[in-house]
Structure 1
Amino acid sequence: MSVADPVREFRPTHVVPPGGLPSWAGPEPSRPAARLDPLLPVRLLELRGDWARVECANGWATWLDGRLLLGLPHEPAGGALEPGEDPRPLLARVQAALAEYRALLDELAEGRLTAGAFAERTAGLRLGAVLDGTDAWLFDAAEQRWSYCDGRRLRPYAGDGGPEQ
């Protein structure tokens, strides 16, 4: 039995498509598991035909239809990104959403908020951030999309809106 590294590094390679995905305990449809949330970052571990085994940030692994995953860029094609959006406004919104969630958690832990009130006040609150050195994938809840940042500029990557016409 091997001892796992106490600091497990999670580097996403893909995100779940905007509609979410069903998953299975094995590469066969008779073993259903949980449904994965839309735009969830995952790491591809293995491919078997159209089946893909992926790992989530919490270490849980599952099988799904690998044809539907959206790949994340690890290096911008052709070098540095062309001018895009300033990432700081989105970072401020992600930070504000996290601070709001933290404040609600504190109220819940201190007994100043019931579980029902906590659920009501967090309904619709979404955020997402994966940082890996200079690379960042940030979820913009207002636009319902993930964006990629190289430390200087932000570019939309995957979203709920579907392809532009």
Structure 2
Amino acid sequence: MGTPYEFQPTHVAPGDGLQTWASPDPSRPTVRLDPLLPVQLVDSSGNWARIVCSNGWSAWVDGRLLVALPQRPPGTGEPLATTEDPRPLLAALERSLASYRSMVDDYAAGKIDLEAFREGTRNLRLGAVLDGSSAWLLDLDQGRWYYCDGTRLQTYATVDRGEAP
């Protein structure tokens, strides 16, 4: 597999975690992965997928349940850009999340109806996966997923803005 520095997650476990197996055999379950744990898909057989975690541990999972992370754009072997300070993007993500929460609160309290909720949240987009000191942050204004190690942002992938719902 290589050193831990070579780990490049391709997926995360779903929000409710994910059962693992020692082999592609449902009679041999092992531990459950934590929700949103980054993993690297290394092999597949039908619906079975063999994943590797950042610590090198490997297991088989139901590959249909893995959540794909955005991948580096085709043809690029090097990072696209580095930004030293992650705080401006984190502040923008916090504002988007606060706006969404406010709309949820208003809808739950009956202050607005479903149509107003949908209209008020129509242009809100937010993406973040946190795993300890590592973070993958979505900035749709820039059309990029960034990887953050706590000290700086590095472009991880570009986003085709035409694909957003």
User: Residue by residue, what CA displacement relative to the aligned partner does 1:106-128 show, whole Å, maximum 9, x if unpaired?
Assistant: 00000001100110111121001
For residues 116 and 139 of structure 2, the distance between their equivalents in structure 1, rounded to whole angstroms, comes to 25
Q: Structure 1: state its 5+ residue gaps.
A: 14-42, 72-76
Superposition pairs for residues 127-138 of structure 1, below 5 Å? 127-138=126-137
**Alignment CA distance shift 1:54-1:95 (3 Å):** farther
Amino acid at match of 2:113: T
Find the residue that maps to 1:91 and give its secondary structure: helix
Q: Determine helix, strand or coil for the equivalent of 1:129.
A: strand
Displacement after TM superposition at 1:63 (Å): 7.5
Q: Is the contact between residue 146 and residue 158 of structure 1 (CA under 8 Å) also seen in structure 2? A: yes
The residue type paired with residue 10 of structure 1 is L
Q: Where does the alignment leave 5 or more consecutive residues of structure 2 unmatched?
A: 1-26, 52-61, 73-77
Give 1:144 shift. Answer: 2.1
Q: Distance in 1 between matches of 2:49 and 2:112?
A: 39
Secondary structure of 2:64's aligned partner: strand
Within-5 A mapping of 1:93-108: 93-108=92-107
Moved over 3 A (4+): 1-5, 43-46, 51-55
Contact 2:148 2:154 in 1 (8 A): yes
Q: Map of 1:3-14 to 2, 5 A cutoff?
A: 8-13=34-39
* Whole-Å separation in 1 of the counterparts to 2:104 and 2:147: 29
Match of 1:32 in 2: none
* Deviation, structure 1 residue 52: 7.9
2: distance between equivalents of 1:3 and 1:54? Answer: 13
Q: How far off is 1:145 after superposition?
A: 1.4
TM-score (norm 1): 0.55
Separation in structure 2 between the aligned mates of residue 52 and residue 85 of structure 1, nearest angstrom = 39
> 1:68-117 CA deviation, whole Å, 9 max, x = no partner?
x626xxxxx9xxxx963300000000000000000000000000011001
CA distance in 2, matches of 1:4, 1:11: 13
Q: Decide whether aligned partners of structure 1 residues 53 and 153 sit closer, same or farther in structure 2, where only a CA change above 3 A counts.
A: same
Structure-to-structure mapping, 1:6-155, within 5 angstroms: 8-13=34-39, 44=41, 46-48=43-45, 53=49, 62=64, 70=71, 84-155=83-154
SS of alignment partner, residue 91 of structure 2 = helix
Would you say how many aligned residue pairs link Structure 1 and Structure 2? Answer: 116
Change (3 A) 1:63 1:98: closer
